[in-house]
Amino acid sequence: MDLERTYLERLRKGSYKDFTKLYELYVSRLYAFALGLTHSDVLAKDIVQETFVKVWIRREQIDLDMSFRSFLFTMAKNQLLNEFRRQANGPLFLEDIVFNESGEEGETYIERKLSFEEFNHRLELAKQKLSPRQRELFELNKEQGLSIGEIAAKMSVTEQSIRNQISQALHVLRKELGSYAILFSLFFIG
């Protein structure tokens, strides 16, 4: 049995010592991931801290047969997306996160804010192009952070069926979002 699985088994039973070991194992990789997405040291540290708080809270729900690394990084990505949405009106956040998709220099704060609001608007419109099932699965997996296994168990369908539906949804959304495909990929692909 590998060491990570042992830590996870003990964590599920409430071992703070094993939680700390998992934290030490992943903190630098998770920080690098968050920093790469945010380009903000403070925000990356906040994302890492919030992610590990959620790991502790959801410790009993950790599936030992699923990749903990994937679970952890998906939670971090979802935390970042939630933070991005929550702080959409904060100019410092926008200065660090929203990048100029046209490639031109000198984009103003107002243009960035409009760009972010337009992305959210277009995402909602694009999701209307999905079948009801695709939309539901996309939102459960990519926006609420449920794993494929969790969704399969919840809906009593095969994991492969869910993967197929989400893959089709991602294809439609990427196509519909056009110039916002980069921002979409940042948060929803991978």
- How is domain 109-190 classified at the CATH fold level? Arc Repressor Mutant, subunit A (1.10.10)
- Choosing among 2.60.40.3470, 3.40.50.850, 1.10.10.10, 1.10.1740.10, the CATH entry for 1-97 is 1.10.1740.10
Using one digit for the tens of pLDDT, what is the confidence trace for 24-55?
999 998 888 887 777 778 888 888 999 999 99
- Assess whether pLDDT exceeds 50 at residue 8: yes
Q: Which helix (H) or strand (E) holds 112?
A: helix 109-127
Calpha distance 162→155 (Å, rounded): 10
For the chain, domain boundaries: 1-97, 109-190
pLDDT at residue 99 in the model: 46
Q: What angle do CA 169, 173, 178 make, to 5 degrees?
A: 160
- Of 184, 190, 140, nearest to 165 (Cα)? 140
pTM score: 0.50
Condensed to tens digits (0 to 9), the pLDDT of residues 75-106 reads 888 887 777 666 544 444 444 444 444 444 44
**Residue 126 and residue 174: Cα distance in Å, rounded?**
9
* pLDDT tens figures, 132-164: 999 999 888 877 667 888 899 989 999 999 999
